[in-house]
A = this chain, B = another copy of it.
């Protein structure tokens, strides 16, 4: 990535979206795609698309559009999707089980290599082809399995303690599904998924009969 100003949260999110559109467009056999077409598929404006993509260097040719494969590969590189990542899942309750079988992870290069829990009845059992390991062996297991990222799918009251333990092991990224705000230092990247917040967004729209503007 060129050393320019940092992209915003929303830009990164839209890169993920463009990446998916490009995957589809490539499958459909197209070699070039216009900013208009990229925008249309995602209800964005062509200007937004061009602005986002120009942020990471110049890709397109005026009048010809973007070369599909080249652009997809470039975005893959920016997002770190030109490689695979080893992921550990902590917690195999309802949400953890669903995430363990979420095919989109594997499809984009995120391989769940390790599944951990603290429940003696679950430890040692087979979960979607992986033996559930004891979370008390967290540090050893993360190292042995060369884990890059951790998904936390544990109850709210367990999440903070586990996030701190993960941080001590040197793993630098957590995707958190517990409905709680994790406090860690700045050396670790944390994203929290709170599904209720998405419903709150919708209830805002219904209540105010409006849609927030995109960022």
The 8 Å CB contact of A199, one of B5, B110, B200, is B110
* CA gap between A15 and B172 in the complex, in Å: 28
- How near does chain B come to A215, taking the closest CB pair, in angstroms? 4
A104–B195 touching, CB < 8 Å: yes
Interface positions of A from 193 to 215, Cβ below 8 Å from B: 193-208, 210-215
A-B contact pairs, 11 of them (CB 8 A): A5-B213, A9-B215, A11-B212, A12-B212, A79-B200, A95-B98, A98-B99, A149-B199, A172-B206, A189-B205, A193-B198
The answer to whether A148 has its CB under 8 Å from any CB of chain B is yes
The 8 Å CB contact of A99, one of B78, B81, B195, is B195
A8–B212 touching, CB < 8 Å: yes
- Among the stretches A115-123, A130-138, A161-169, A173-181, the one at the interface with B is A173-181
* CA gap between A189 and B42 in the complex, in Å: 14
Interface string of A1-37 (1 = CB under 8 A from B): 1000111111111011101110000000000000000
* CA gap between A101 and B199 in the complex, in Å: 15
Interface string of A69-112 (1 = CB under 8 A from B): 00000000011110001010000001101110110110111100
B204–A9 touching, CB < 8 Å: no
